[in-house]
Amino acid sequence: MRKPRSTLITTAGMAFAAALGLLVSFAGPSVGEAEAAPTGIRVSDGHVVEANGNEFVMRGVNHAHTWYPERTNSIADIAAKGANTVRVVLSSGDRWTRTSASEVSSLIGQCKANKVICVLEVHDTTGYGEDGAATTLDRAADYWIGIKGALQGQEDYVIVNIGNEPFGNTGYAAWTDATKSAIGKLRGAGISHALMVDAPNWGQDWSGTMRDNAASVFASDPDRNTIFSIHMYGVYDTATEVQGYLKHFVDNGLPIVVGEFGDQHSDGNPDEDAIMATAQSLGVGYIGWSWSGNGSGVEYLDMVNGFDANSLTSWGNRIINGADGIAATSETATVYGGGGGTGGGTAPNGYPYCVNGGSSDPDGDGWGWENSRSCVVRGSGADR
């Protein structure tokens, strides 16, 4: 999304209903094409998997590191709420202060220490073509190549999200070629990580550009290791739109993640219940926006107040403790010793986590009751 302090968020597009109604089918890649070398996080048969072949379904939170580098506890706080993924905002230096290679190494170390997968993204590309301050995917690729040393050897723990929302609502037809070029540039430079690519139209793809060209973009990656990311805000205000978009990718054997979404927005009211339920039913990852620090009238997107992990907002409580939320559906990556699949797991005090999160705990004391036994609400005061 457009972020955060001085850039006001406007309507992502008015023609979404017609655009999303024209779901064009195409043949996805064959199973053989979708298989990457078994190193690190990769794509296999349309699914995101770890090196051992275990499917990894992202349940995560975005963290605006580049604007709040002093908030060094945020990754740990997010992990403590049960997330298995943190999408970290970086800067190539084209618009904000460049995130150095040493800083990236530190962030990766924090992710590993807290047993979450790091999705690292360059934010300077946001709204290119419409926002004059935005930079190109090519420049973002240069950034990744410039910090290659911090990334090498981290393929089990890091996904490289090339550039956030790389086109606005102007010039977005260039998305396909620009994305293919950036992928080729990174692969040519020896970056073998799983790559993530955001949709145009401020990430919401109301034009169907990413949807209709995803197969050719995927095939352009010599490693066949590219994940597509849709951002769901006001364009996705009905279950039909949410389901139609995500199911199109799943049905065509193409990996898709909801890389950002919220429970309300200035361009319309996203259907967060449908987003989370559909992602869960299809085995699709989601990463909510965002932990804290939103400004310019979208403070309602904060999950916690003032970076205080003990002060959940209504949105934070919804995504963490609600139905199909992080606490109920997140599983730690097996590279950290997680078991894979979905379910509650066991709290440090030996009691099982509540699969249904806060809905099992009507009095809010952190203790619930499921399957004829006590359970712990993940991230609550009882979770110790």
Bigger pLDDT: 10 or 334?
334
The torsion angles phi and psi of 142, rounded to 5 degrees, stand at -60, -40
Q: Rounded to an integer, what is the distance from CA 259 to the centroid of its chain? A: 3
If pLDDT is split at 50, 70 and 90, which confidence band does 7 have?
Answer: very low
The structure tokens 């590219």 sit at 226
Distances (CA, A) of 157 to 22, 42, 217, 370: 37, 11, 24, 33
Beta bridge partners of residue 47, listed in sequence order: 44
Beta bridge partners of residue 373, listed in sequence order: 370
Q: What is the mean pLDDT of residues 336-347?
A: 63
| E-strand stretches of 139-249 | 158-161, 195-198, 226-232
Q: What is the mean pLDDT of residues 123-137?
A: 98
What does the DSSP 8-state code read for residue 288? E
pLDDT at 32: 40
Q: What is the pLDDT of residues 66-107, one digit of tens each?
A: 999 999 999 999 999 999 999 999 999 999 999 999 999 999
Half-sphere exposure of 372 (CA within 13 A, CB side): 0
Q: What is the pLDDT of residues 151-166, one digit of tens each?
A: 999 999 999 999 999 9
* 3-state secondary structure labels for all residues of 232-267: ECCCCCCHHHHHHHHHHHHHCCCCEEEEEECCCCCC
Just list the catalytic residues. 165, 260
pLDDT at 39: 78
Q: 194: closest CA among 160, 244, 152, 169?
A: 160
pLDDT at 79: 98
Ranges of H-type helices in 8-136: 16-21, 31-34, 74-80, 101-113
pLDDT at 90: 98
How many whole angstroms separate alpha carbon 368 and alpha carbon 355? 10
Q: Rounded to an integer, what is the distance from CA 301 to the centroid of its chain? A: 15
Distances (CA, A) of 314 to 59, 156, 300: 18, 33, 9
If pLDDT is split at 50, 70 and 90, which confidence band does 108 have?
Answer: very high
Q: What is the pLDDT of residues 180-217, one digit of tens each?
A: 999 999 999 999 999 999 999 999 999 999 999 999 99
How many whole angstroms separate alpha carbon 60 and alpha carbon 379? 14
pLDDT at 379: 64
